[in-house]
Amino acid sequence: MTGVETRSVARDSLFLLADIRVEQSADTYRVRVRNLSDGGMMGEGQLRVQRGHRLSIELRNIGMIGGTVAWVQDNRFGVAFDEEIESHKARRPLQGPEDPAAAVVKPSWAHRAPPPPEPSTLRKI
């Protein structure tokens, strides 16, 4: 492999999960997205696909996108999207509801350490 980049679209390595449905099947598979660009992605998982299969992919913060399997090697596969996406949106935290009042998050005390004891209640050993 040479050090020359031959791709026309920049891509980023990341770890993200996506739900994929192969056309003509009702089953949905959860796969790892290893690389993502505006024009396609590399997925990894126990999904058995062949070059040319049509897919519906649910990506975080992007939604449902259609694509075609471009290549397959072992448990990895490449997908060319039907339309370009804004891949940077998938790296953002999950988008919450549009209503600001619904977006208020109450603090969780489940993982907070108890306050330290008052020094006057401690006894010397």
- What's the rounded mean pLDDT across residues 29-38? 93
Tokens of 13: 């390595």
Find residue 19's DSSP bridge partners.
Answer: 30, 58
Amino acid 122: pLDDT: 82
Amino acid 1: pLDDT: 47
Cα–Cα distance for residue pair 7/124, rounded to 1 Å:
70
Query: Do the beta carbons of residue 67 and residue 49 sit within 8 Å?
Result: no
Cα 28 versus chain centre, distance: 15
DSSP string, 49-66: --TT-EEEEEETTTEEEE
Identify which of 11, 6, 5 has the alpha carbon closest to the alpha carbon of residue 85.
11
Q: Which domains does the chain have, with CATH numbers?
A: 11-92 (2.40.10.220)
User: Which pLDDT tens digit goes with each residue over 42-101?
Assistant: 999 988 899 999 999 999 899 999 999 999 999 999 999 999 999 888 888 765 555 555
Angle (CA) 14 65 35, round 5°: 20
> pTM to 2 decimals?
0.64
Q: What share of the chain is helix, strand, coil (3-state, %, to 5)?
A: 10, 40, 50
